[in-house]
Structure 1
Amino acid sequence: MSLMLPFRILLRKTALVWALMSLATCGAASPSTIKLTSGTWAPYLEETPSRGIIGQIIDEAFAEENVTVRWGFFPWARSYRLAQKGLWDGSAAWACTPERAPYFYFSDPIIPVRLAFFHRRDKPIDWTTLDDLRGLRIGLSRDYYYGTTINQAIADGILEADVARSDVINFRKLLAGRIDLFPIDVAVGRRLLVETFSNEDIEQLAVHPHVVYATQLRLLLSRQIPGNEARMKQFNLGLQRLNARGRVDAIMAEAAKDLPYPVTLYGDGPDPAECDFARASTPAPVNPTETGDIQ
């Protein structure tokens, strides 16, 4: 009996060790899930199985770290606030701005976007500085960020801003002559025109190749969600692996085949230091009462 008792205890301890190891192995093998909001902004973000260029890159970058993405598509303003309040884990894809830094962790750059002015062919433009466009009416879409150059030109009275609810409405205003200029990423503008407007409408418009604003789009993860800082590190590692294999370039090249009438742009690219300020950002205070649905 004295020999059997220690042997039984040893068996129980061994079984417990194996059980704990099995649980740990199962946990490591099971991918975690992250919930991200977005709006529709083809060809970069789309409510389709591929999710668009950026959506596909985000899916594959997280998959590199055994994380699956659950997407929710909403109007852009609501998409942003759902993530800002911590009701969803994060949102894609946004530029790095000081106003957003207290609420979000910013990812490494995913892809660059370049905004240029669409205009009517019967009202051609040419410009070196925005002062060359003084007095013209510029259409803007609500809750979009257009960069300091355009914002300052509006504040100085050089350009007259006309804000609409969507890019489609701005193109309609441009066709109707209610605005003179509409800045939009050129790939997005082309796709939107082809999918929404007639060939007759498209032939009335042109894009000036001078880039007015360039930035890198990034994933935002809410500072209110515990563990999001670590999740962002996972995403950045996955994104680095995709870039090292040339996968990001391949996704962009495949999507570019479907874009109509390419244009050669010129002007400044994104500022490499545009997100440096975010390292010193102070998180915004949490308001525990703001947990309801956001309209």
Structure 2
Amino acid sequence: MNWKALLFCILAAPWARAETITLSNGEWLPYLSESLPHYGAVSRIVTEAFALEGITVKYVFRPWPRAYAEAQRGLVNGSLVWSVGPPSTERAREFLASDTVLEAQSVFFHRKGYNFTWTRDADLAGLRIGGVAGYEYRFEEVPGVRLDRAPNEELNLRKLVAGRVDVVPASLDVGRYILRTKFKPEEAAGITVAAGRYNTTQYRLIMRRADAANAGYLERFNRGLRKLKESGKYEQYMADLAAGRY
């Protein structure tokens, strides 16, 4: 083999074409965490979707405001995962967004034996509801709703166990993870989930519009995400998450 042929083979090798991008990430157990296997199920989905398109992902874990700011300033290629909202929002104007990576179901947790039925927001009037400081809830302006805020979901669930609030709205996966890992088994056994979902939120990978390469990266990511779903791996990773394997 002459040197020209050898050079062609080297340049044609898959590892020679490999690209690496950096994404800011954060702590949102059990979806995302620096301490979890594969950095959590959602990080694993993003990693493998890019890998199917020949792109390697490096994560930098930051507090959420910093993770977002670094993506805004172009210090990283993008960030995961975020809800984007309608085109008129600042986030939608600044960022390109991928196809949906995570669809999170929000529910009401309550104590077993507590008579709670809910079909519309008006049914929440008169209840003591445990909310997280800084979160916006669509029902908080409903007349008669009493929102008792705490710094995080764990403290709200502790108030629920103690009978200091009646219901706690939270992501189904997040609430179950906290009950499984932070509470005594007998405490967790006393909490249940009300029928129905009060909210469904779609979360996506975001990349700054101002960076010319990002449209191409997102196109490749979406293609890889479709491949991951077609293979059945996406469904398996989410099933593993729901089963407590992260």
Under a length normalisation based on structure 2, what TM-score does the superposition of the two structures give?
0.83
CA offsets 1:55-103 (integer angstroms, 9 cap, x no match): 1111100001111111122333333333233332222222231332122
What residue is the counterpart of 2:153 in the other structure? 167
Are 2:128 and 1:137 equivalent residues in the alignment? yes
Are 2:27 and 1:40 equivalent residues in the alignment? yes
Are 2:86 and 1:115 equivalent residues in the alignment? no
Distance 2:60 2:146 in 1: 35
* One-letter code aligned to 2:78: G
* One-letter code aligned to 1:129: R
Listed as ranges, the matches of 1:271-290 within 5 Å are: none
Tell me if structure 1 keeps the 8 A contact 2:125–2:145.
yes
CA drift at 1:171: 1.7
Identity across matched positions, percent: 36
* Structure 1 runs not aligned, ≥5 long: 1-14, 260-295
* One-letter code aligned to 1:155: E
* Structure 2 runs not aligned, ≥5 long: none
CA drift at 1:29: 2.4
Q: Work out which of the two has the higher radius of gyration on C-alpha atoms and give 1 or 2.
A: 1
**Equivalent of 1:220 in 179, 182, 206:** 206
Distance 1:254 1:22 in 2: 40
For 1:41, what is the secondary structure of its paired residue? Answer: coil
Tell me if structure 1 keeps the 8 A contact 2:122–2:142.
no
Tell me if structure 2 keeps the 8 A contact 1:193–1:202.
yes
For 1:209, what is the secondary structure of its paired residue? Answer: coil
What residue is the counterpart of 2:141 in the other structure? 155
CA drift at 1:52: 1.6
For 2:131, what is the secondary structure of its paired residue? Answer: strand
For 1:101, what is the secondary structure of its paired residue? Answer: helix
Tell me if structure 1 keeps the 8 A contact 2:125–2:142.
no
Distance 1:91 1:193, change over 3 A: same
Distance 1:124 1:216, change over 3 A: same
Distance 2:153 2:216 in 1: 35
Are 2:214 and 1:232 equivalent residues in the alignment? no
